[in-house]
Amino acid sequence: MGKQGKKHHGRSHSRLREDDDPLPSSAYDSEPPQQQHPLTIDEFPLEEEEKEAKYKYEEQSSCDLPSKFVLYQRSVQSPKGDISYMQKFFWTYVGGRLPLHLREDFCGTALISAEWLRSDSRRTAVGVDLDIEALTWGLENNVQQVGADAYSRICLFHGNVLHSLTNAKCIKSASLGSENYKSLRETEDNSGSVTDDDEADLIKKLEVSENVQDYCGQKESSFPAADIVCAFNYSCCCLQSRSELVLYFKQAWSAISKKGGIFVMDLYGGTSSEHALKLRRRYEDFMYVWEQEDFNIINRTTKISLHFYLSKNQRSLRYAFSYHWRLWTLPEIKDCLEEAGFNSVHFWMREMPNIQERREVEEFEVNDNVKYEEISSFNQKDAWNAYIVGIANKVEKRS
């Protein structure tokens, strides 16, 4: 999950109005703190100090700590912004009907899907992720908040986006969270994540639990085909080879309605993305740190880690999320989307604040007034963020 690792300084949901054009999610585009608090460097050590044993997650009982997913969602995601842009892209490139059916690939806690359901009672969502812990947490904490009918309009699949969902498990469950998710939390290790054994246990429980509604019953095919397929917070960077990327884009194309639709993903780049870097942002009650390791120019890979430092009692969740990413380029993505069947590909970009002009470790702020714009030419910058939109005009293709 997400500068994104995914990212920057967007707008707070609570400040969004109907007529706002909010910024998307991604580490650069996350929502800002409501209030800036003048915290000292001693309260939030960085660099070498970060490595000291002072901040030890192991030292406290995990019930004192907020979930790593709560911190992630607050720091990294901005679902209203993403949905606002997806709607704009759909109306621009497809039009003629309201986009009602979303497929959120690499969905994690399915925050975007939950917001999609909330935005219109006719809307449906399908989410897919490999991480059962994120999916179950999202069902309990995001989907459940939408309202009683939300479960009937969503299916979260525990599966691989590279494969058909025919054999994936749909983990729709009203009772999953209270029983099984609790037991999962109890088996969390000190890093705040579940071990492989715990995960296997949870999956087994889910499969045998009579309380789980429709665990294997409801399939992707019972949901309308997607108007929009999305893959946010740089998730396509999880795919390391060109063949995997094309295979995934073919799956995304297949999931789109015969009436046509769009695929939307995000990507970051710029000179600052190709070397080691640490960015931080302070919130009222915690600090979020995005750590980017050295960048391998042979295969364009890097490791991204997200850390959270809580103000209360100097607690920390270091390495709450870690990813090995291949940083794809815009032309590579375009080539692969076209090879997978998309008719055209559009880039919407915005420049991000220049990190090079500051210190290596710096707080990142984003000017809320800077919107994404469709471009056909963009000179290299220190940092940029992009929405990439693939158009699947299937009606035209068939005729």
Report d(CA 129, CA 269) in Å as an integer: 24
Q: Toward ligand SAM, which CB reaches closer, 124 or 260?
A: 124
Give the residue, chosen from 75, 218, 233, 316, that forms a contact with ligand SAM under the rule CB under 6 A. Answer: 233
Residue 223 as a binder of ligand SAM (CB under 6 A): the answer is no
CB of 256 to ligand SAM, least distance (A): 18
For ligand SAM, the closer CB: 128 or 366: 128
Angle at alpha carbon of residue 243, lines to 239 and 248, rounded to 5°: 60
Contact with ligand SAM (CB under 6 A) among 30, 75, 77, 257: 77
Q: Which of 23, 114, 161, 228 binds ligand SAM (CB under 6 A)?
A: 161
Q: How far apart are CA 10 and CA 7, in angstroms?
A: 9
Continuous H helices in the chain: 47-51, 68-76, 79-93, 111-119, 132-138, 144-146, 176, 182-186, 196-208, 242-255, 330-339, 394-398
Which residues 105-134 are close enough to bind ligand SAM by CB under 6 A? 106-108, 128-131, 134
The answer to the question of residue 228 lying near ligand SAM (CB under 6 A) is no
Determine the Cα–Cα distance for residues 291 and 296; give it in Å rounded to an integer: 15
- Per CB under 6 A, 390 contacts ligand SAM: no
Please answer whether residues 187 and 201 qualify as being in contact, where contact means their C-beta atoms are separated by less than 8 angstroms: yes
Q: Whole-number minimum distance, CB 152 to ligand SAM, in Å?
A: 23
- Does 306 help bind ligand SAM (rule: CB under 6 A)? no
Of residues 241 and 313, the one with the C-beta less far from ligand SAM: 241
Q: Which of 12, 87, 119, 160 is the binder for ligand SAM (CB under 6 A)? A: 160
Region of 144-152, 159-167, 185-193, 249-257 interacting with ligand SAM (CB under 6 A): 159-167
Helix (H, G, I), strand (E, B), or coil: what is residue 244?
Answer: helix
Say which residues have a Cβ less than 8 Å from residue 111's Cβ, sequence separation at least 6.
73, 77, 79, 138, 142
Which one of the spans 102-110, 306-314, 348-356, 374-382 is the region binding ligand SAM (CB under 6 A)? 102-110
- Residue closer to ligand SAM by CB (options 27, 260) is 27
Tokens describing residue 271: 């000179």
Q: Where are the beta strands (DSSP E) in 225-271?
A: 228-231, 261-269
Shortest distance in whole angstroms from residue 319 CB to ligand SAM: 14
| Span interacting with ligand SAM, options 117-125, 146-154, 156-164, 181-189, rule CB under 6 A | 156-164
* Pick 31 or 129: Cβ nearer ligand SAM: 129
- At residue 387, what is the residue type? Y
Tokens, residue 396: 């035209």
Query: What's the min distance (Å) between Cβ of 29 and ligand SAM?
Result: 10
**Least CB distance to ligand SAM at residue 38 (A):** 29
In angstroms, the CA 336 to CA 178 distance is 42
Closest CB to ligand SAM among residues 2, 45: 2
Q: Which residues contact ligand SAM (rule: CB under 6 A)?
A: 1-2, 4, 25, 76-77, 106-108, 128-131, 134, 160-162, 232-235, 238, 323
